[in-house]
């Protein structure tokens, strides 16, 4: 059977072709030639538009659609659904569209749906498909109610809806992001506030230096440190306007170039310098510089500097250094050293002075308990170790003295004061203390001991000396009592008494002089004296002793008068003392030579004898008080060791010197006395001119 294709089915692409080829006889629509006019019109419209259109027609609502609709219904319905009843084709979504179709078919008018979700299965999966569509009635007089079908003009808006949804999502996310950002910003502001507070608390400041633009950007805190106020926070790098360099203390300015050099090589480096602020105060700053950008050659382009005010620490350090220096000076002035011994590790620390005390250096000597003990005099080692151990055990401070044998052979006395520290169980943890050189004290103690002994010897000798003249005196007095006054023996008694009392008087005078000299209470009756007169007076005093020993006396005086300023009696006492000594310490029949001359504004008097001489080691001692030489004092003529001591003090009171020389025991002695010459042209009068020298003058 050939059917003529009606005009309204012409065109229409694939769907047109399908509709033309379709066997309509088996559908509820029947042959297209019999389709009512209104349906034909709408079908023609549908097939000839690019817009997706769909038609449900007749009581079964047979499905018709165009090419534009194919994609939307998927292979599940295309092309099989053509002409088939809507209820079967769209069973899946009938609950949604069924009522809407019913609404139109029952004459209640068209419907309009925007972005309606109508999920359908296509391409094998259930898609959330969105549509914007209208269901419009298609009139047909022959149909009940005058409505033959429904025209669906429809656009799938899944993409737009999805985009819109995406957009909403994005917007929500954006909103979320903004909220988060705001929170982050708030947090950052809070953190920045904390950062600023921290900078302030730490008296820290930072700035950035742009070495290319030659500018500097200051933080408020850094400006406060440098005493700068710049509203724009900008500064200049280099040149006369460089506010940074200008603020640096002149003595530290050279460091600026140094830091720039460091920045060439290091990414971060330490910096320390002083700044002088506009108010005149000086701050010590300490911190770091960090290179934040480098050029192609590695040259620094930008740096960040962070500096803190460390003035207080520096002052404390300086104070500490001064204290340390003081302690060091005190230790070295007191010839003292400090030590500390950690008992657990058995490590010994010594202050630098301690090395010097022990005569070693840190380079050549490592102080340990053993090495230090090794320097002690072997005799002192056991006692020291024992006493130290005992003191530590008894929790007592420890004082001791020992002798050292230094590596260079010298010997010193060391005083040692130590103490231990204990743990809660009472075990010693460390000991510490000071050591000091007490050699001088030890020497002084020895001198004192010697002096004490000498004094004892002296008193013993003196008692003898004072007793000796007493016996002949008493004897003479006894004799006198039994003699008539005109007896010739009376003269002998007078002689004995006279001689012996004179000796006692001399002895006592010497003793009194010594005590006066010691107390600085000697008065000189100073006058211009002729050397010859003075020496003659001394010889006169010494002559009996010289003659008594049968010595020859040679005297060589200057031809012209040589004059000195002095006390005649005292100076005659000095010279007679020396002459009597020569007589005493020269075996009988010796020679004593006195020679006087002027030289270098001084009167020089030399007294030389051929006597027993003085051993070299005794030369210095003979001028000391009671400074007798043992072998000499045992000599019959020995005295009390007062004469030379007295002589030296008297000569020194006159501004002169006295020295002894001897080539040794048995080789004679020579005493040389020098006195300043009286100034010429002054008072020539030889008359006595009393003057007072010594402490009495001030009194
Ligand atoms: P002394 O009363 O013992 O003589 P001095 O002070 O005068 O006291 O002398 C001190 C010591 O010096 C003497 O004990 C003696 O040992 C020694 N001395 C002094 N003069 C001479 C001398 N010319 N020759 C040798 N020894 C001397």
> Which ligand 1 atom is the nearest neighbour of the CA of 644?
6
2 pLDDT above the threshold of 70: no
* SS3 per-residue string spanning 119-169: CEEECCEEECCEEEEEEEEEECCCCHHHEEEEEEEEEECHHHHHHHHHHHH
pTM comes to 0.41
Contacts of 358 (CB under 8 A, 6+ apart): 337, 365, 367, 372, 375, 404, 406, 414
Q: Say what the pLDDT of residue 277 is.
A: 92
Ligand 1 proximity of 199 Cβ (cutoff 6 Å)? no
CA distances from 3 to 7, 14, 21 (A): 12, 19, 10
Average pLDDT in the chain = 88
For residue 366, the tally of other CB atoms under 10 A from its CB is 10
- pLDDT bracket for residue 640 (50, 70, 90): low
Q: What is the 445 CA–ligand 1 centroid distance (Å)?
A: 26
What is the distance between the alpha carbons of residues 646 and 652, in angstroms, rounded to a whole number? 10
Residues 6+ apart with CB under 8 A from 127: 119, 120, 121, 158
Structure confidence at residue 696 (pLDDT): 30
Are 29 and 149 within 8 A, CB to CB? no
> How is 615-665 classified by DSSP, letter by letter?
-GGGTTGGGSTT---HHHHTSTT---S-HHHHHHHHHHHTT-EEEEEESST
Tell me what the mean pLDDT of segment 445-454 comes to: 86
pLDDT band at 627 (very low <50, low <70, confident <90, very high): low
C-beta atoms surrounding 134 within 10 Å = 15
Ligand 1 contacts CB of residue 639 (under 6 A)? yes
C-alpha of residue 641 to centroid of ligand 1, in Å: 7
Q: How far is 628 from 526, CA to CA, in rounded Å?
A: 31
Give the tokens for residue 212. 């290319």
Check if the beta carbon of residue 147 is closer than 8 Å to that of residue 140.
yes
Confidence band of 699 (pLDDT split at 50, 70, 90): very low
- The set of residues, in sequence order, having a beta carbon less than 8 Å from that of 254 and lying 6+ positions away, is none
Which residue has a Cα nearest atom 4 of ligand 1?
Answer: 639
What is the DSSP secondary-structure string of 270-328?
EEEEEEE-TTS-EEEEEEEEEEEEE-TTS-EEEEEEEEEE-HHHHHHHHHHHHHHHHHH
Q: What is the layout of strands, in order, in the sheet containing 204-210? A: 234-236, 215-218, 204-210, 300-309, 282-294, 268-276
The answer to whether residues 107 and 147 touch, using CB atoms and an 8 Å cutoff, is yes
Q: Kindly report, residue by residue over 301-348, the tens digit of the pLDDT.
A: 999 999 999 999 899 988 988 888 888 888 877 778 889 999 888 889
Is residue 640 within 6 Å of ligand 1 at its C-beta?
yes
Using CA atoms, how far apart are residues 665 and 630, in angstroms rounded to an integer?
13
Tell me, using a 6 A CB cutoff, whether residue 650 lines ligand 1: no
pLDDT at 682: 52
590 lines ligand 1 (CB under 6 A): no
pLDDT band at 685 (very low <50, low <70, confident <90, very high): very low
Atom of ligand 1 nearest to the CA of 632: 16
Provide the pLDDT for residue 484.
86
CB of 580 closer than 6 angstroms to any ligand 1 atom: no
Does residue 530 surpass a pLDDT of 50? yes
Whole-number pLDDT of residue 5 = 78
- CB of 39 closer than 8 Å to CB of 32: no
Residue 582: CB within 6 Å of ligand 1? yes
Give which of 234, 216, 226, 285 is closest to 255, Cα–Cα.
Answer: 285
Nearest CA, atom 21, ligand 1: 581
Task: Kindly state the tokens that stand for 692.
Answer: 């007072």
């Amino acid at each position: 059977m050939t059917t003529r294709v009606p005009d309204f089915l012409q065109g229409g692409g694939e769907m047109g072709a399908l509709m033309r080829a379709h066997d309509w006889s088996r559908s509820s629509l029947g042959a297209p030639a019999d389709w009512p006019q209104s349906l034909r019109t709408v079908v023609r419209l549908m097939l000839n538009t690019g817009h997706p259109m769909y038609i449900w027609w007749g009581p079964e609502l047979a499905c018709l659609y165009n090419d534009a609709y194919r994609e939307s219904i998927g292979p599940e319905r295309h092309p099989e659904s053509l002409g088939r009843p809507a209820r079967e084709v769209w069973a899946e979504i009938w609950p949604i569209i069924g009522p809407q179709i019913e609404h139109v078919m029952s004459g209640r008018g068209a419907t309009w749906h925007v972005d309606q979700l109508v999920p359908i299965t296509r391409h094998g999966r259930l898609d959330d498909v969105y549509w914007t569509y209208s269901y419009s009635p298609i009139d047909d007089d022959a149909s009940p109610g005058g409505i033959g079908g429904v025209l669906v003009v429809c656009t799938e808006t899944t993409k737009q809806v999805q985009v819109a949804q995406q957009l909403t999502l994005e917007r929500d996310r954006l909103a979320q992001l903004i909220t988060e950002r705001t929170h982050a910003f708030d947090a950052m502001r809070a953190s920045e506030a904390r950062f600023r507070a921290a900078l302030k608390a730490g008296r820290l400041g930072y700035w950035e230096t742009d070495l290319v633009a030659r500018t500097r950007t200051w933080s408020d805190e850094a400006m406060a440190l440098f005493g700068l106020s710049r509203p724009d926070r900008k500064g200049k790098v280099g040149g006369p306007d460089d506010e940074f360099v200008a603020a640096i203390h002149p003595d530290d300015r050279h460091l600026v170039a140094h830091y720039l050099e460091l920045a060439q090589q290091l990414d971060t480096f330490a910096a320390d310098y002083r700044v002088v602020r506009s108010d005149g105060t000086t701050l010590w700053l300490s911190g770091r510089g960090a290179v934040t950008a480098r050029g192609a050659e590695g040259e620094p382009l930008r740096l960040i500097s962070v500096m803190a005010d460390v003035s207080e620490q520096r002052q404390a350090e300086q104070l500490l250094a001064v204290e340390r220096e003081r302690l060091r000076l005190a230790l070295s002035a007191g010839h003292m050293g400090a030590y500390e011994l950690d008992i657990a590790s058995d490590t010994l620390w010594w202050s630098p002075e301690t090395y010097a005390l022990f005569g070693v250096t840190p380079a050549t000597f490592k102080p340990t308990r053993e090495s230090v003990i090794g320097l002690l005099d072997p005799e002192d080692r056991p006692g020291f170790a024992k006493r130290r151990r005992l003191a530590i055990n008894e929790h007592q401070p420890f004082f001791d003295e020992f002798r050292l044998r230094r590596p260079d052979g010298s010997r010193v006395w060391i005083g040692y004061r130590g103490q231990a520290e204990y743990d809660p169980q009472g075990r010693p943890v460390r000991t510490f203390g000071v050591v000091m050189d007490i050699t001088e004290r030890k020497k002084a103690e020895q001198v004192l001991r010697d002096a004490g002994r000498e004094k004892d010897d002296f008193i013993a000798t003196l008692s003898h000396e004072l007793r000796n003249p007493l016996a002949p005196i008493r004897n003479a007095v006894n004799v006198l009592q039994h003699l008539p006054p005109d007896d010739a023996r009376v003269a002998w008694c007078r002689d004995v008494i006279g001689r012996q009392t004179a000796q006692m008087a001399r002895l006592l005078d010497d003793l009194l002089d010594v005590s006066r000299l010691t107390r600085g209470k000697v008065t000189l009756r100073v006058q211009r004296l002729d050397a010859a007169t003075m020496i003659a007076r001394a010889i006169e005093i010494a002559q009996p002793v010289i003659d008594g020993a049968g010595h020859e006396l040679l005297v060589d005086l200057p031809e012209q008068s040589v004059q000195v300023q002095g006390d005649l009696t005292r100076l005659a006492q000095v010279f007679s003392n020396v002459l009597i000594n020569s007589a005493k310490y020269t075996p009988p029949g010796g020679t004593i030579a006195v020679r006087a001359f002027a030289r270098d504004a001084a009167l020089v008097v030399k007294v030389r004898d051929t006597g027993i001489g003085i051993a070299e080691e005794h030369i210095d001692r003979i001028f000391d008080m009671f400074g007798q030489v043992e072998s000499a004092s045992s000599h019959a003529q020995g005295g009390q060791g007062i004469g030379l001591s007295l002589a030296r003090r008297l000569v020194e009171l006159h501004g002169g010197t006295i020295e002894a020389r001897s080539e040794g025991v048995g080789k004679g002695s020579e005493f040389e006395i020098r006195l300043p010459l009286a100034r010429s042209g002054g008072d020539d009068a030889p008359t006595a001119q009393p003057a007072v020298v010594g402490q009495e003058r001030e009194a």
